[in-house]
Amino acid sequence: MVQQPTYGLRERTLSGSTVIELSGELDLLATTELVTSLDAVCETRPPRLVLDLRKVTFLDCSGLSLLCRIRNRLRGERSRLLLVLDDPRHRRLLRLTRLSDTFDIATDVNSAVARDDIA
């Protein structure tokens, strides 16, 4: 029996920003399969990469590792990473792991794209 993916990825461009909407469970299986797609996006060096995590229902340490990997791949480039999340559980997880200050966070995509405090 073939297991159906428990995650989703949708990419689009909005006002010059690359927006990746992730959904479902960001666990070890998902991140193992998503890393290639997200690395390819990082290779294009988008001026602003917005990861919309509002539809993510589960986030574990491998999901956090993936977020850090993307952040590190864009560091030093003329690219910025911004997370969109509104789930208090995910915000708490970032706080508990002391990662909340390492990411720029917004509550919706439109405000993330419109932010002018990051390049």
pTM for this prediction: 0.89
CATH number of the domain within which 65 lies: 3.30.750.24
**Is residue 2 in a domain?**
no
Q: What is the pLDDT along the chain (119 residues), one digit of tens a residue?
A: 556 678 899 999 998 899 999 999 999 999 999 999 999 999 999 999 999 999 999 999 999 999 999 999 998 778 889 999 999 999 999 999 999 999 999 999 999 998 776 54
**Is residue 46 in a domain?**
yes
**Is residue 1 in a domain?**
no
**Is residue 65 in a domain?**
yes
Number of domains in the chain: 1
Q: Quote the domain boundaries for residue 77.
A: 7-114
Return the exposure string of 55-86: e unless at least 16 CB atoms fall within 10 Å of the residue's CB, then b.
ebeebeeebbebbeebbebbeeeebbbbbbbe
The pLDDT of residue 115: 78
